[in-house]
Each structure stands twice: as structure tokens, then as C-alpha cells.
């Protein structure tokens, strides 16, 4: 079972990929697709969120920005979605506790 630190690191990695590749710039030669990366972000966030008891404001911000990003990507608003993902990434999510 992964620790919170490991999950946060993986979450940050998935955010980094989404900030540059989502929704339609994933390299064909890569193993990560838009669908797999979005699923990974959702699953990791579901596991991380209950553990962020000391960071409730940041957790609410991240939750809202994730929703905004997913909605933007679905609406084909790539720049809006990427900006929402970057806003999360720039919180230095690896250091949340």
C-alpha cells in the first residue's frame, strides 16, 4: 500500500502530464492516455483527500480546480483545463499533509 507521500508524488506527476498533454496531446508512443491519466488523477485524489485534515482550504481549492479541469477538457477547452491543472500543481502538492 502506498504512503500519502507516494500518492502525492504520483498525483503531482499525473498533474504535470495533464498540464502539458491533456486532453489530446498525449504522445502515441507513450503508455499514458488521456483516459488513463484522468482516471489516475481521480483515483489518487479520492485516496488523498480524506488524509488532508490539516489542509482543508487547499483540499477544497484542489477539488474545485479538478472539477473545473475535467469539465473544461470535456468541453474541448484545453487552455482552461490546463490552467486549472497548473493552479493545482503550483501548490506544490507533494508537500501537502
Global pTM value? 0.93
CA distances from 33 to 55, 93, 95 (A): 30, 22, 26
Residue 53 has pLDDT above 90, yes or no: no
Q: Tell me the residue range of the domain where 34 lies.
A: 4-95
Residue 1 is predicted with a pLDDT of 84
Which residue pairs from 63-71 have beta carbons closer than 8 angstroms and sit at least 24 positions apart in sequence? 66/41, 66/42, 69/18, 69/22, 70/38
The band of 6, judged by pLDDT with boundaries at 50, 70 and 90, is: very high
Q: What percent of the chain has pLDDT over 70?
A: 100
pLDDT tens for 66-77 read 999 999 999 999
Residue 82 has pLDDT above 90, yes or no: yes
Task: Work out how many domains the chain is built from and give that number.
Answer: 1
Amino acid at each position: 500500500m502506498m504512503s500519502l507521500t507516494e500518492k502525492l508524488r504520483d498525483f503531482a506527476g499525473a498533474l504535470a502530464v495533464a498540464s502539458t498533454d491533456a486532453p489530446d496531446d498525449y504522445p502515441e508512443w507513450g503508455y499514458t492516455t488521456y483516459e488513463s491519466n484522468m482516471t489516475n488523477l481521480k483515483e489518487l485524489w479520492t485516496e488523498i483527500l480524506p488524509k488532508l485534515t490539516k489542509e482543508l482550504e487547499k483540499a477544497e481549492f484542489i477539488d474545485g480546480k479538478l472539477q473545473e479541469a475535467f469539465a473544461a477538457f470535456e468541453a474541448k477547452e484545453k487552455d482552461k483545463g490546463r490552467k486549472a491543472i497548473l493552479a493545482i500543481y503550483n501548490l506544490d502538492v507533494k508537500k501537502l499533509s
